[in-house]
Amino acid sequence: MEKRYTPTHEWVELNQERSEGTVGITDFAQQEVTDVVFVELPKVGKSVPRGGEAAIIESVKAAFSIYAPMGGVIISVNQALDGNPGLLNQDPTGQGWIFRLKVTHPEEFSDLMDEKAYQSYLSEGGGQPAHG
Amino acid sequence: MTSPIVLPLHEIHQEMGGHLTDFHGFLLPLRFSTITAESRAVRTRAGLFDISHMGRLIIRGANSVEAVNGLITSNLGGVPSGKALYGILTNENGGAIDDIMAYWFSPERVDLVVNAGNRDQDRKWISDHLPPGVTIEDPSPSHVGFALQGPESGRILREVEPGAAALPRRGALLMGSSPGEILVSRTGYTGEDGWEFFGPSETVIRFYRKILAVGLPLGLVPCGLGARDLLRLEMGYPLYGQELTAETTPYDAGLGFAVSARKKDFIGRPGILDASGKPLHHEDHRLLVGFALTGRGIPRTGCDILSGFSGKGVGTVTSGGYSPEAGGGFGLAYVDRPFAQDFSTGTAAVVRIHQQDLPIVFRTRPFVPGGLR
């Protein structure tokens, strides 16, 4: 499935029905954050507005807020990050996903950057750390 | 914002893949690999740090040693020539203007290494308080400084510069002669054995490259400011602007070892010591304490410390971090004087991180075992 990106370096991927989204951080963000020590995961059932703070990544360097790319209700969190926060550094766009949400407005997806737009955003200096 | 100053080692940092950051107006590597990996390397092997942002001031003229001694808390007259001395430059109230390293090589010359962000202010303060005939020079804008730190440092340095490698702990010497003269000292900010070098760009860069060439195969790694900050915090060393400010005295910061009561006079003495030479207790000043979290969480500068019983705010975190060696999240905080006593004997306290109150316990410094002080 296609991933879409936020200016704050989160990615979201929708399921086939476009009802649920999986959220994580990009490889660029992972490099900026470095050395993740743990992740403050959201509570399942919590509702988050688009752009609202949904999780916190604590790295050796600093704390970084993770914002919901789309509004919705948290339906699951990646428990593997509890025992192995390094997954966020090793595989940020795969096994290092952070949470899943039931999206309220699937059409918000199209407001986000696609891969090409995100890459050009990075090359135009959007790469300045937006987190934290 | 003006652009940060690009320092002479910049090109080498780029070649080595440094991730750069603006620190007090200087563009410096924050890290090359990861902060954790670099810190580990310094504790177990060796690391190389660019410290060109640090200021170096040279005081010259008859009685330079006496002149500097009148400005700092520690006793430069009490250490032999060629020995590094840590001291605090204090204002009239005993508050810290900066913390510095001082070296004297003859009664007519004292070298100071000062913090990047304080250099201009220090130079002005010192210059305003020097007696006639004593001058101050600031070679910092054209100098390069680097630190070689870690247990393998000596082995690396012996192959490049045996004379410098033979220095005793805290020993210092001037290598070569002006204009290529380099100040070398067996000192550092990591708690490990190590050496620091300051001198004119070209000479020092050549030297830096030699150390890299010899050191890399022996496990030396380039390190950034991230590791530098974590390593100093593990040792409980203060960072000016965080643990030390114009409002804190050396005793507030737990730096009584850097105050010489034997010295009759220095600026700020009346704010630090009573007439008999005993530390003055300012009841309204907070005290610096070390703490660690009992569970997970990482304290950061500015987090509140609250009493575990009353829930009242009793202090503020000045530096915080995470280190597996230190047992997890840990940090330094200024807390109300009466609370400091209770806390050190086991009274409960919490640190507020992201609106959560997490239990902390008192910890003595250094936070990690071993290391040199």
Q: pLDDT digit string (tens) for A20-51? A: 999 999 999 999 898 999 999 999 999 999 99
pLDDT of A132 strictly over 50: no
**pLDDT (0 to 100) of residue A127:** 60
**pLDDT (0 to 100) of residue B370:** 62
Q: How many CB atoms lie within 10 A of CB B284?
A: 7
Each residue's pLDDT tens digit, B31-70: 999 999 999 999 999 999 999 999 999 999 999 999 999 9
Alpha carbon distance B104, B79 (integer Å)? 9
Q: Does A62 touch chain B (CB under 8 A)?
A: yes
Of B226, B296, B298, the CB nearest to A63: B298
pLDDT of B99 strictly over 50: yes
Distance of CA A131 to the CA centre of its chain: 11
Q: Do A58 and B321 touch (CB under 8 A)?
A: no
CA closest to A55 among chain B residues: B354
Q: Does A90 touch chain B (CB under 8 A)?
A: no
Q: Does B31 touch chain A (CB under 8 A)?
A: yes
pLDDT of A1 strictly over 60: yes
Q: Does B324 touch chain A (CB under 8 A)?
A: no
Q: Does A44 touch chain B (CB under 8 A)?
A: no
Tell me the CA distances in angstroms from B365 to A11, B255, B303, B329, B335, one per residue in order: 42, 12, 20, 14, 16
**pLDDT (0 to 100) of residue B373:** 41
Place of tokens 């954790």: B36
Residue B369 pLDDT grade (very low, low, confident, very high; cuts 50, 70, 90)? confident
Q: Do B354 and A38 touch (CB under 8 A)?
A: no
Percent share of chain B, pLDDT over 70: 99
Tell me the CA distances in angstroms from B49 to B46, B168, B196, B260, B308, one per residue in order: 10, 21, 9, 31, 40
Starting from the edge strand earliest in sequence, which strands make up the sheet with A63-67, in order? A36-40, A53-59, A63-67
**pLDDT (0 to 100) of residue B215:** 97
Chain B interface test: which of A31, A60, A81, A128 (most B C-beta within 10 Å): A60
φ/ψ of B143, rounded to 5, equals -105, 165
**pLDDT (0 to 100) of residue B177:** 86
Q: Does A58 touch chain B (CB under 8 A)?
A: yes
Determine the residue type at B67: A
H, E, C per residue of B24-73: CCEEEEEECCCHHHHHHHHHHCEEEEECCCCEEEEEECCCHHHHHHCCEC
Instruction: Cite the DSSP H helix spans in B216-286.
Output: 225-235, 269-272
**pLDDT (0 to 100) of residue B1:** 57
Mention every residue, 6+ apart, whose C-beta is less than 8 A from residue B173.
Answer: B82, B163, B164, B167, B184, B185
Q: Is B90:B273 a contact under the CB 8 Å cutoff?
A: no
Residue A128 pLDDT grade (very low, low, confident, very high; cuts 50, 70, 90)? low
Q: Do A60 and B34 touch (CB under 8 A)?
A: yes
**pLDDT (0 to 100) of residue B122:** 98
Place of tokens 């022996």: B218
pTM of the model: 0.91
Q: Do B322 and A34 touch (CB under 8 A)?
A: no
State the Cα torsion B260-B266-B268-B274 to the nearest 10°. 60
Q: Do A35 and B34 touch (CB under 8 A)?
A: yes
Q: Does A60 touch chain B (CB under 8 A)?
A: yes
Chain A interface test: which of B32, B296, B323, B351 (most A C-beta within 10 Å): B296
